[in-house]
Structure 1
């Protein structure tokens, strides 16, 4: 029904923890749109013209608008709520915990530990999300031109261990993706079944990037 709303940003309320409500005035009508805490931190000042991509959901006989910074985030939200046991609020929590590319990567690669960083997502829920959406999001990611970890020989539990170790060392998800892509493209890197070797090579690459 709605694709996006464009109007004056009136303000943001935090009536319910972790569920910011953005108020947008469009042609004299104020719309309350639930957004993620991540999105709320990126908002401009009030009374500025602002566009938010939206999805309209019917919940308990109420119409609720959910808002996103980009059309891709809105489309990912729509994919997430198709998974068994994933409602709108859990989908919003996933989008707030992980950046779009990192969330898609975690689902496609089956990185349950990364998905479980989201409050309310346990191991079984993470496994179900990955199982049900892996193929669809793998295709969608290519169509949306999102960055992919092209790590030949690195997948499943091995990829999960490598990613989580690098994140624990303080690297950002984007840095981890870039490093693993760089290591994977290095044809001289032969020890592909060894998590420690991947981690060592990734840290080495990241150190060179910082030095440069």
Structure 2
């Protein structure tokens, strides 16, 4: 899979829990969240990444200034992260697409390598990260899937198109139709906050303070 993956930052949401602001443009350590997500994509371990893009629907010039293509949703009814997935699968120039959300600025620097290794070993259609569920289990021993941290084959485009056209919206239900490799990030060196995301401005400030 060397050089066969396009990384996509998902920044096309409506930011409803942040008061309607454009989440990807909110500052974190002096840079917009989406810029942090891009930086971490470009510093991924291994040589599988061939390029990056951003999925956004507002303030397009601000995203274009980050130096990568900006892809707007190919569907108009805002079906959540699946809109970004479908947009990426339709426009992706490589055989595989890696998605990361714009609101989790601490995600692992070896995310792509570990997802790709699992996808190849299990001959899966897509690979998902699973991070510690600190809310349910403060010890970090319990993990839950993080479906927006996903490496997938572009061959899933037609399946997702049909799923959305049928009026379905739940991301995990669509994924369950395919061969999924679930990858726990539970190594001793893994940051338990790696998949922490900011849904509100207060959570963003707390994440910035505690990171």
Give the TM-score taking structure 2 as reference length.
0.31
Question: 1 or 2, which has the higher helix percentage?
Answer: 1
Task: Work out which of the two has the higher radius of gyration on C-alpha atoms and give 1 or 2.
Answer: 1
TM-score (norm 1): 0.31
